[in-house]
Copies of this chain bind each other. A is one copy, B any other.
Amino acid sequence: MTEPNINIIAENLISIHPLLYKSISRPLRAKSPITPGGMFVLGSLKRLGTLSMTDIGKCLDMPKPHVTVIVDKLIEEGFVERQNDPKDRRVINIVLTEKGLVNFEEIKRNSTESLKEKLARLNEQELEELQTASQKVKEILLTILSKE
């Protein structure tokens, strides 16, 4: 009887998606020079460490030319650096800089301010539950969606 579960989970995720878009992507565009795509790239680099251009594309399911555009902009800002791979000179590895890390964290803080205000209205128990639940969703999705 796992079939119905899967459909319910998919339905839940589809419902959650616009809520995150509204409360994260939109404030982000309003309050920072980094685009949502740029933040996705920075997040991947922070979580996984140095990645090649191809890795980034696979990781976010992003067309390679788009990765180039985004990384170009991140380099302009000094948030990441290109590094040649000594093992394979075709490969270019992207590294998060100290400045990139610091700004990433700050942008996250700024762009989630209004979200946090709304979270602050929840009571202790709801916060506990939401923390546990969001943690679980994050962990499981990361494991099944990061593969290959």
Q: Which residues of A contact B (CB under 8 A)?
A: 2, 5-26, 36, 39-40, 43-44, 47, 60-61, 108, 112, 115-116, 118-122, 124, 126-138, 140-142, 144-145, 147
Contacts and interface: CB of A to CB of B under 8 A. Distances in A.
Question: Chain copies in the assembly?
Answer: 2
Contacts of A18: 40, 43-44, 60
Given A16-B20, A130-B9, A122 B138 contact: no
B131 A10 contact: no
B118 A144 contact: yes
A25 B17 contact: yes
Which 9 A-B residue pairs are closest in the complex by CB-CB distance? A12-B134, A133-B136, A133-B133, A18-B40, A10-B112, A17-B20, A118-B144, A22-B61, A19-B141
B112 A8 contact: no
Contacts of A138: 12, 15-16, 19
Contact of A2 (B12, B115, B127): B127
Given A14-B43, A112-B10, A129 B140 contact: yes
Contact of A10 (B12, B116, B126, B145): B116
A145 to B, nearest CB: 5
Contacts of A127: 2, 5-6, 9
Contacts of A112: 10, 13-14
